[in-house]
Amino acid sequence: MSAPEAGLGLGIETGGTGSRWCLSAPSGAVVARGEMEPMTGHVFTQAERERVGGIFARLAVELESIGQPTAIIAGVTGLGPESAVRAVFSEILATAFGCPEDKILVVDDMWLGYRARFQPGEGIIVYSGTGSIGYHLSAGGEIIRAGGRGVLLDDGGSAAWIAAEALRRLLRREDEAPGSGWESVLGHALTQALGGASWDAVRTHVYGGDRGSLGLLARSVAVAAEAGDVTAIDIFTQAGAELARLALALRARVGPKPVALCGRAATLSPLIAQRFRAEVASPVALDEMQVDVPGCAARLACELTQADETRF
């Protein structure tokens, strides 16, 4: 067996449905990569801290024969600005990997997603997943955001917004002409996902789950749009305009920089990108499937082994 490599950087991207990691050498070569259980920055209870600690402890054992990282960068979803939560996550990682905390950088997932696409100050990203947000990281490290306020207030153009808008339109149509909404192409597609064509089925799914379960219904709206449903087509066109609003809001504040439209929800229908590009009128990339976020984190971690984290 060959000796473990030294000076390795570990990059981590967490998510509510799954997490990914990448171990990189200082040369930039990927040494190993893999997936692990889902997790978020909501490590508010002892039970959740122990669960997350166990996930990382198992990864540390897996990496023993390859090499322990000398620096770690973790992009954590749902982290928020609370320094206490960052400190807790950093402590969990330090314990699991025996890595000094000054060589561990815990950031929110949008920061990492930005660095995977642009250098600080270079561009704007508009992300559409379960929620939506516009994001710019200045050359000086300032985070400038638009949107990202949650589905109860906005999240226009996101999967949760698309699903909620479809249900809202369908149910209003039912109010005016009972049966007409559920008998539409969109109604049939949603019925399959909801397990029934009734207000009770909608209520159980929407109010008995979370924003993630609501967002999953956007896939059914996409099926209806592909089948030519006029309402679904209009929703996706409007979703593109909603996401363009985020880009335009940031362009007004930071200048006409290149824009990356990313996130799985942005790929649900080509209508989203079509309207987005028409509205933004600047270089736009739709690149979600091509960007290696954990790989970027691992490369940055290698840089962190020889630098103070304030340079990031």
**pLDDT, tens digit (0-9, with 9 covering 90-100), for 273-292:** 999 999 998 767 666 556 88
Could you tell me the residue range of the domain that residue 102 belongs to? 9-116+292-311
Are residue 169 and residue 251 in the same domain, yes or no? yes
Radius of gyration of the chain measured on its C-alpha atoms: 21
- Considering the domain architecture, whether residues 251 and 299 belong to the same structural domain is answered as no
Give the tens place of pLDDT for each residue, 167-186.
999 999 999 999 999 999 99
Number of domains into which the chain is organized: 2
Single out the residue of 95, 96, 76 nearest to residue 86, CA to CA: 76
Residue 81 has pLDDT above 90, yes or no: no
Which residues have a Cβ under 8 Å from the Cβ of 48 and sit 6 or more positions away? 42
Q: In whole angstroms, what is the distance from residue 203 CA to residue 186 CA?
A: 17
129-137 average pLDDT score: 92
pLDDT band at 311, cuts 50/70/90?
low
Q: Is the pLDDT of residue 218 over 80?
A: yes
Mean pLDDT of 180-199: 96
Q: Would you say residue 128 lies in a domain? A: no
The pLDDT of residue 188 is above 60: yes
* CATH number of the domain where residue 86 is located: 3.30.420.40
User: How large a percentage of the chain has pLDDT more than 70?
Assistant: 92
- What's residue 167's pLDDT? 98
Residues 103 and 158 in one domain: no
Residue whose C-alpha is closest to residue 26's, from 305, 296, 294: 305
The whole model's pTM is what?
0.84
Mean pLDDT of all residues in 87-96: 94
